[in-house]
Amino acid sequence: MSGEIEHDQGDLWEVFIQEDDNAPHTHAGSIRAADPEMAIQNARDVFARRGKAKSMWVVKSDHIKATTPDDVAPFFDPTADKIYRHVQFYKHTLDDELWKKR
């Protein structure tokens, strides 16, 4: 006996749950599983058994490309004073809200 603890609990998956029709799928948490069917069952048992759910997505965590801490300055900092560069700006101008505030 090596005395080592077996750490292989399967891959990490992210779970997204939609609580109502037309509501967005929002991140509920992570689980471990060996295959997609196991992932969706585990997600159901851990996150959706008692809460209400209309739909659920699972995606392998390593399929998500995420920003690193080094990306923060170049990615996000310049946006504060140039809001017209971002698509949200035009949505708001269309319904006049942001326009009035300016």
Partner 1 sequence: MNNPPQLFEYLIRIADDRLILGHRLSEWCGHAPLLEEDIALANIGLDCIGQANNLYTVAAEVEGKKRSADDIVFFREAVEYKNLLLVEQPNKDFAQTLVRQFLYDSFGLLYFDALQQSAFQPLAGIAQKAVKELRYHFRHSSQWILRLGDGTDESHQRTQEALNSLWRYTGELFESDSLEQQLHSEGIAALSSGMKEEWDKIVTEILNKATLQIPSSEMHQQTGGRKGQHTEHLGHLLAEMQILQRSFPDIKW
Binding site for partner 1 (CB under 8 A): 9-10, 31-35, 37-38, 41-42, 44-46, 49
Work out how close the CB of 12 gets to partner 1 at its nearest, in angstroms, rounded to a whole number.
11
Q: How far apart are CA 9 and CA 61, in angstroms?
A: 14
Q: How far apart are CA 50 and CA 31, in angstroms?
A: 17
Work out how close the CB of 21 gets to partner 1 at its nearest, in angstroms, rounded to a whole number.
20
Q: How far apart are CA 11 and CA 60, in angstroms?
A: 7
